[in-house]
Chain A
C-alpha cells in the first residue's frame, strides 16, 4: 500500500493557539485536533495513501 510517511505533525502548534485563547473562544476545530490525539489516540504521522476515498464522488 502506498502509505509512506510523508510528514510528521506535532500537537505543539495547536496547543499554542489554545493556550492563548480564552476558554470560551477556543475554536472547536482546534479542540477537535486535541481530542483526536488524546482521546482517540490518532497518529501524528501523516501517511498518504493513494486510494482512500479518491475513488468516489
Chain B
C-alpha cells in the first residue's frame, strides 16, 4: 500500500491527534504561511471545503482506530486554510458529524486554530456548544503582526484579530480561549512582542520558529550567529522575571526536558509525534510543517475513504517519528544537548540530496537556546523565595486535623484568592466608586481591608460576578469599602446597591431598607455613624456605638466561647451559595438558640474532639443559618467558594458538633485543592463509596472520604458513651477504608494526592492500634 511517503515500516502504532483541514483556503495572505507560500503547493488541487461525507469518514476512521487501540482520548484540531471560512452553520454541522462516532468510543478533545478574523458571537456559540477550544495566531503588536499577517490587498488584520481575542476573554467564551500562536520574526523587538501578547491575556503562548530548511535557510540579520536563540532568551528572561504569568510551551518544554521529562512539542525534544493530518479531500498527510521541505513532502497516498489509520501509521515517515533520538543523524547524536533538542523540528532538517538526516537548519540557535535556558531557569529556581512547605501542609491536613498555623496559612491564601478575584471583577466590569474607596482605605489601613476581605462571601460574590456579563451587582464593593472605613475609622462615602432590601457591610452589620427593593443608594461612614440614602431620598441613620439592632440595622452577631469566635451571617445576599435556601433575618429568639447550640457544640468539640479545635478556631468564621427541612432532616453544607463559612439548619449541640467537624473538613480540603492538584481533573474515573448509591468522581470521593474519616473519628470517641456508636463507628470506618482503597487504585491521583491519601490511610489505621 505504500504511498509517496516511502513505504511501510512494520507494524501499526497508535496515533491520537488528528488535524482536520476543514477548509483549504484562507482569507489572509500571510507571506510566511507554509500552506500557500512554501514548497508544497498541493493546496491548489484540494477541494476548498471538507464535505460532510469526508468529515464523517474521517471521524469513523479515528473512532475505529481509538477503539482498536483502546485510546482513552483523542484530539482533533479543526484547521485550514482558515476553518472559520466554513461559517457557523456548516461548522456546526461538520463538528456534529465528527463528534458522534468518536464520542461513542472515547473522549474527544476538540481544538481549532484560526486567524481569528471571522470570529464572532455566533461562531463562539457554536464552538461553546461543542466544547471546541480556540488558538488564535498573532505575531505581536501592530507593526509585528502587520509584517506578515495581512489580507491579499495588503490591509492589516490586527484589529480584527484583537477583537476576536477580546471576545474570547468575555466570561461566556473564556473557557474556549486556548492561547496564542506567534511566529517569530527576529526583526520584531522581543520585549514588545512579549508585552503585546501578554496584554491579550492568553492562557498560553506557542512561539514558532519560521519554517525553513537547508535549501531555504531562515533570515539571519547581519553576521549574528544565533539571532533566534537571542530573541527567545530575551523573552525567557522576562517571562521568568514576571514569574511566568502564562504558559509558554517552548520554555516549559525545555524546563521539562532538562529534568528528563517530555518536551510536548515537535520543535524540540524526542517526544513521539503521534499525529496525522487529514486534508479536505480526505487524504492523509504527515505533519503540516513538512510542507516547507519540498512539493509533495507531506503526502502519503492514503485516504480516509480507502485506508485505516493503522495503514497510515505503518508508513515509514510516520513510524520514524516514534523513535526519539535513535533516528537522528550522527552529528545530532553526539551533541551534548541531543536529548533536549532532538534535532529540532523534523522539517527544518531537510536538505535536497540528503533528505532529513541532518541537524536542524536552526542548530546553532537551538544549542544556545537549550544551554542558556537551562542556566537561566536554574538561577530562577535558586532565587525563588522559600514557599511554605507543601509537604508540611499535606502532612498536617492528611492527618485529619491541621494546626492553627497551617489553617491560618490556608486562610491567608484564601484572602489572596479573594483579592485577585476582586481585581478581576474590575477588569471585567470596569471600575466602581466602591473599588476606588476600598483601595483608598487600604492605603491608610491595610488591615482594615484585610479583615473585610476575609469575609467568606466576598469570594462567592466575586465568582458570581466573573460568571456574568451583568455588572449590576458591582456596587457590592461599596459595602466592603464602608465596612473597611468603619474598621479604619476613616470617613467613607460611596455608592452601594440595596439588594432586595439589604445592604451588607461584612464584619460590621447589615442595613435593612423598608421593603425588598433593589436600587442604587449612597452610604456614608463617619466617626462611628453611618447613613444610607436610597430611593425617594430617604435616609437611614445608624449610630454604631449603640448596642443591639433595630428594624433597619443588624450589627454583626458574634459568638465568642472560650477563645473561639464566629459570626452568624443572616443578611449578606452573597451567602446564598450553599445549595440550600438561607434562613432570613433571625429574630432575637432564633439568634439566642444559635448562640446556645454553638456554645454547646464548641464545648463538646474541645472536650471530646480536641484535635479538630485548632483548625476550627483558626479557620471557621461564619455560620450561615439555613431554612429548616420541612421533613425535619438535617441540613448542612460547605461552599467551596466561601472558605471559612458553614451553612446549617437549626440543630442541637451534639449534632452541631459533628456537623462542624464534618463540614470544616470539606472546607480545609477545598482550600488545599485550590492550591494544588491532588487528582487528575481530566480523569473520567468513578469510585464507589459507601455513603452514596452512585459512583462518584474522584474529587467528590476524596472530599467524602476526608470528611467521613473525621465522622468516623467522632464516633470512635463516643464508643462506650453513646449507644449509637457501636453501630455507627464500624459503618463509617468501613466506608472510609473502602474508599481509600478505591482511591489508591484509581490511577487518578497525582503524586501529591497519593501522598495525601497514604497519610490519611495511616491516620485511620492508627485508630485501631
Contacts and interface: CB of A to CB of B under 8 A. Distances in A.
Interface of A: 1-8, 10-19, 21-24, 26-57
Contact of A6 (B174, B181, B211, B262): B262
Interface stretch (B491-499, B599-607, B670-678, B755-763): B670-678
A53 B179 contact: yes
B262 A57 contact: no
Contact of A1 (B274, B390, B415, B424): B274
Given A13-B387, A15-B413, A51-B17, A26 B203 contact: no
Interface in B367-392: 384-385, 387-388, 390
B674 A37 contact: yes
* Range class of the B interface residue count: 35 or more
Contacts of A51: 17, 19, 75, 77, 266, 275
23 contacts: A1-B71, A3-B73, A6-B252, A16-B385, A18-B419, A19-B415, A23-B422, A26-B419, A28-B427, A35-B424, A46-B252, A48-B261, A49-B17, A50-B272, A50-B274, A51-B77, A54-B206, A55-B79, A57-B30, A57-B34, A57-B35, A57-B183, A57-B211
Which 8 A-B pairs give the minimum distances between C-beta atoms?
A48-B264, A29-B245, A34-B420, A1-B16, A53-B135, A6-B256, A15-B416, A26-B423
Given A55-B77, A55-B288, A14 B243 contact: yes
A35 B71 contact: no
A50 B273 contact: yes
Contacts of B246: 29, 32-33
Interface of B: 16-17, 19, 30, 32-35, 71, 73-75, 77, 79, 111, 113, 135, 137, 174-175, 178-179, 181, 183, 198, 201, 203, 206, 208, 211, 242-243, 245-247, 249, 252-253, 255-256, 261-267, 271-275, 277, 287-289, 384-385, 387-388, 390, 412-413, 415-417, 419-424, 427, 435, 438-439, 442-443, 449, 459, 463, 466-467, 641, 674-677, 680-682, 750-752
Contact of A53 (B206, B390, B413, B676): B206
A50 B183 CA distance: 17
A28 B200 CA distance: 10
A2 B264 contact: yes
B385 to A, nearest CB: 7
Q: DSSP majority for the B interface? A: mixed
Contacts of B641: 38
A26 B415 CA distance: 13
Contacts of A1: 16-17, 71, 73-75, 274
Contacts of B422: 23
Given A8-B752, A31-B421, 15 more contacts: A6-B253, A12-B387, A15-B417, A16-B387, A21-B419, A23-B419, A29-B198, A37-B674, A45-B750, A50-B272, A52-B135, A54-B249, A55-B77, A55-B288, A57-B34
B675 A12 contact: yes
A23 B412 CA distance: 15
A6 B682 contact: no
A48 B274 contact: no
B299 to A, nearest CB: 16
B261 A7 contact: yes
A3 to B, nearest CB: 8
Given A8-B750, A38-B417, A32 B275 contact: no
A41 B475 CA distance: 26
Contacts of B271: 2, 48, 50
B753 to A, nearest CB: 10
Contact of A52 (B137, B206, B412, B449): B206
Given A1-B16, A30-B245, A55-B275, A42 B203 contact: yes
B681 A41 contact: yes
Contact of B17 (A33, A39, A50): A50
B47 to A, nearest CB: 20
Given A1-B73, A15-B413, A51-B19, A44 B676 contact: yes
Nearest to B203: A36
Contact of B439 (A14, A15, A22, A56): A22
Contacts of A30: 243, 245, 420
A37 B277 CA distance: 32
Contact of B388 (A7, A12, A31, A57): A12
Among A11, A18, A54, the most chain B Cβ lie within 10 Å of the Cβ of A54
Given A7-B252, A29-B246, A52 B111 contact: yes
B288 A50 contact: no
Given A53-B77, A55-B77, A57-B183, A22 B443 contact: yes
B249 A55 contact: no
Contacts of A49: 17, 75, 264
B242 A29 contact: yes
A24 B34 CA distance: 44
Among A29, A34, A55, the most chain B Cβ lie within 10 Å of the Cβ of A55
A51 B463 CA distance: 33
Nearest to A13: B243
B626 to A, nearest CB: 24
Contacts of B253: 6, 48
Among A3, A14, A45, the most chain B Cβ lie within 10 Å of the Cβ of A3
Nearest to B289: A55
A15 to B, nearest CB: 4
A29 B424 CA distance: 10
A33 B675 CA distance: 11
Contacts of B179: 53
Contact of B266 (A10, A11, A22, A54): A54
Contact of A39 (B249, B264, B463): B463
